[in-house]
């Protein structure tokens, strides 16, 4: 393909102004090697000069000094005219010639790290505002709009491929490359503006009025954003969605945290369903500090347990429902060692999420070629977004959990210390089970789980029916109140001796009376955990 048919344009002058200087010198050296004139600003110019490169200061190009603490340096007709004029357009050519405007064929820009600044603890309002880039996005948009003639480079990751193309094309870039770069550039400015608007939208009214120099930009924790902005880059296309006839893709926030930012160590490509289940079991095990293992199918736990070691926790979790555990996804909250890996490897598992895997664990899993191992770093708790026809629902994440001293002892018999520990464990698991939910548990181990039933009494029956281990002397957790005594009677018949539930029903007294009659200990949390 010739330069003409590919729409290639030679790069003769490039303007470089970057905050992230990774790979900058090497890229600039490659440009200079093709005779490209380098124009630069501030710290970027210093870096290039220190590397021995010839650089024209932006003030020499514009004939105007950088001023206002660097706020004004590239906002000038000789910059934007050089970027925006259409080459070969007689009227444009005459205008730039009349005003002495030279063409700029490439812009290399990355923006002030606004999101990193906003994430700093105690960042002041003034510092936040000062880190809003104006000149950078303006140049990026000008260059991207005129991509037919100008290349805009906004990602360090693009440098190697661009250097290869410049070498192959003797200092030119194709139209296809310029168009790809322009699309990336508009995505960058859109995400940047969304980050600014979203951050400022969360600052409490009044926090921006004459703040002290070191006063933090106080968030407005009480308010949802006036406009919901979701702007995540594509991380990967998936083979399909929940079913083969549905398309799917993963987008992430670029943090490298959580399931979206997890590092896959081995196994087949993660599927849509894998990712959903991994997120479910990972969020579940994060409820615990002691070693914990959650075995999940279709986002519901089929077994969950804590133990002195990961191996012990896994064996207890598996014992709850070994049949359903086949083809499951597993979440583990401590590094997986060789002993645990040896035992887990005996079961067919789709994927495992954990903070780390030891060398011994990876060696034992290596024979399971299709098993996905995923290393996850905890992500901050964020609001939950769900689609509804015509819009989106937004809610706080269900991060709340009751402590022992917050429980209401509503029966004449309080739970024993052993029952109380089991109740708090069951309550944490119940929070992650689809409603209506009943969880039977004992000694840090689930025994039976009734998930997603249309009536609470059916959830109680189903959880008991699914139990493989004896239920005698167990406890039961209900994610919402018992509307009638029949649900409570069912868990008692199954073998439960203590119950934890939110309370709040008009029939609460009837349920309490039934618990007293049956000799059950019952506590109210005054907090519901519906999960739709």
Count Cβ neighbours within 10 Å for each residue of 196-215 and write b for 16 or more, e otherwise.
bebbbbbbeeeeeeebeeee
The percent of the chain in helix, strand and coil, each rounded to the nearest 5, is: 35, 20, 45
Burial of 492 (0-12, 13-18, 19+ CB in 10 A): buried
Reply yes or no on whether 297 is catalytic: no
pLDDT at residue number 292 = 97
| Residue 145 annotated in active site | yes
pTM: 0.76
State the Cα angle at 443 between 440 and 447, rounded to 5°.
30
Given the residues 21, 145, 268, 507, the one annotated as active site: 145
- The CATH number of domain 263-375, selected from 3.10.20.30, 3.90.1200.10, 3.40.50.300, 3.40.140.20: 3.40.140.20
Query: In Å, how far from its chain's centre is CA 505?
Result: 37
Q: How many helices (H) and strands (E) does the chain have?
A: 18, 23
Going from the C-alpha of 445 to that of each of 314, 325, 326, 490, the distances in angstroms are: 10, 15, 18, 20
User: Given this model, what pLDDT does residue 37 score?
Assistant: 87
DSSP states along 353-370: EES-B-HHHHHHHTT-TT
Tell me the residue length of the chain.
532
Which residue do the tokens 């893709």 mark?
A: 249
Who's near 177: CB < 8 A, 6+ residues apart? 151, 162, 165
Spot the catalytic one: 21, 92, 268, 298: 298
Q: How much is the pLDDT for 74?
A: 64
Residue intervals of the chain classified under CATH 3.40.140.20 are 263-375, 406-524
- Alpha carbons 202 and 218: distance in angstroms, whole number: 8
Question: In the CATH scheme, what is the homologous superfamily, with its name and number, of domain 406-524?
Answer: AICAR transformylase, duplication domain (3.40.140.20)
Per residue of the chain (532 residues), give pLDDT as tens: 444 445 888 899 889 988 888 899 999 999 998 888 898 887 888 999 998 888 888 776 766 666 566 666 566 777 777 788 888 788 887 877 788 788 889 999 887 667 777 766 777 777 777 777 777 788 898 888 888 889 999 988 899 999 999 998 888 999 999 999 999 898 888 888 887 777 777 776 655 554 444 555 555 555 677 777 777 888 899 999 999 999 999 998 878 889 999 999 999 999 999 999 999 999 999 999 999 999 999 999 999 999 999 999 999 999 999 999 999 999 999 999 999 999 999 999 999 999 999 999 999 999 999 999 999 999 888 889 999 999 989 888 999 889 999 999 999 999 999 999 999 999 999 999 999 999 999 999 999 999 999 999 999 999 999 999 999 999 999 999 999 999 999 999 999 999 999 999 999 999 999 999 999 999 999 999 999 8
Q: How far apart are CA 124 and CA 407, in angstroms?
A: 40
Residue whose pair of structure tokens reads 């203590």 in the numeric block: 498
Per-residue model confidence (pLDDT) at position 136: 79
Q: Does domain 9-201 bear CATH number 3.30.930.10?
A: no
Residue 134 has which token pair?
């104006």
DSSP string covering 383-422, please?
A: -EEEEETTEEEEE--------GGG-EE-SSSPPPHHHHHH
Q: Does residue 449 sit in helix, strand or coil?
A: strand
Give the phi and the psi of residue 55 in degrees, each rounded to 5: -135, 135
């Amino acid at each position: 393909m010739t330069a003409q048919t590919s729409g290639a344009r030679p790069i003769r002058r490039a303007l470089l102004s970057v905050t992230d200087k990774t790979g900058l010198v090497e890229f600039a050296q490659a440009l200079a090697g093709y005779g490209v004139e380098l124009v630069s600003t501030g710290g970027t110019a210093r870096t290039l000069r220190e590397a021995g490169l010839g650089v024209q200061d932006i003030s020499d190009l514009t004939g105007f000094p950088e001023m206002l603490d660097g706020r004004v340096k590239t906002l000038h007709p000789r910059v934007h005219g050089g970027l925006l004029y259409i080459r070969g357009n007689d009227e444009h050519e005459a205008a730039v010639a009349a005003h002495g405007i030279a063409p700029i064929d490439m812009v290399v820009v990355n923006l002030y790290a606004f999101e990193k600044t906003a994430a700093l603890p105690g960042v002041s309002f003034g510092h936040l505002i000062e880190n809003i880039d104006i000149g950078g996005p303006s140049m990026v948009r000008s260059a991207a709009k005129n991509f037919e003639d100008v290349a805009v480079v906004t990602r360090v990751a693009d440098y190697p491929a661009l250097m290869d193309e410049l070498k192959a094309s003797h200092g030119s870039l194709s139209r296809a490359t310029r168009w790809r770069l322009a699309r990336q550039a508009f995505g960058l400015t859109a995400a940047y503006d969304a980050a600014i608007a979203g951050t400022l939208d969360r600052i409490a009214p009044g926090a921006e009025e004459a703040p002290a120099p070191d006063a933090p930009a106080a968030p407005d924790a009480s308010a949802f954003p006036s406009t919901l902005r979701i702007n995540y880059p594509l991380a990967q296309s998936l083979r399909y969605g929940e079913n083969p006839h549905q398309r799917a893709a993963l987008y992430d926030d670029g943090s490298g945290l959580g399931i979206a930012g997890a590092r896959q160590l081995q196994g087949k490509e993660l599927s849509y369903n894998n990712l959903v289940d991994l997120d479910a079991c990972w969020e579940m095990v994060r409820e615990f500090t002691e070693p914990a293992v959650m075995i999940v199918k279709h986002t519901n736990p089929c077994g969950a347990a804590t133990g002195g070691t990961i191996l012990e926790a896994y064996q207890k979790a598996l014992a709850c429902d070994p049949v359903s555990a086949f083809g499951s996804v597993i979440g583990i909250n401590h590094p997986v060692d060789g002993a645990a890996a040896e035992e887990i490897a005996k079961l067919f598992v789709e994927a495992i999420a954990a903070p780390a895997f030891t060398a011994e664990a990876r060696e034992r899993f290596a024979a399971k070629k299709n098993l996905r191992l995923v290393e996850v770093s905890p992500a901050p708790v964020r609001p939950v977004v769900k689609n509804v026809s015509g819009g989106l629902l937004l809610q706080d994440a269900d991060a709340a959990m009751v402590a022992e001293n917050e429980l209401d002892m509503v029966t004449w018999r309080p739970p024993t210390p052993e029952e109380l520990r089991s109740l708090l464990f069951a309550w944490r698991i119940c929070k992650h089970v689809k409603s209506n939910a009943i969880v039977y548990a004992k000694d840090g181990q689930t025994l039976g789980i009734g998930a997603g039933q249309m009536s609470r009494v059916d959830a109680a029956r189903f959880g008991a029916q699914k139990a493989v281990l004896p239920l005698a002397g167990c406890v039961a957790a209900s994610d919402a109140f018992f509307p009638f005594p029949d649900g409570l009677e069912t868990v008692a018949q199954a073998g439960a001796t203590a119950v934890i539930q939110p309370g709040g029903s008009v029939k609460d007294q009837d349920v309490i009376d039934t618990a007293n009659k049956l000799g059950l200990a019952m506590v109210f949390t005054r907090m519901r955990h519906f999960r739709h």
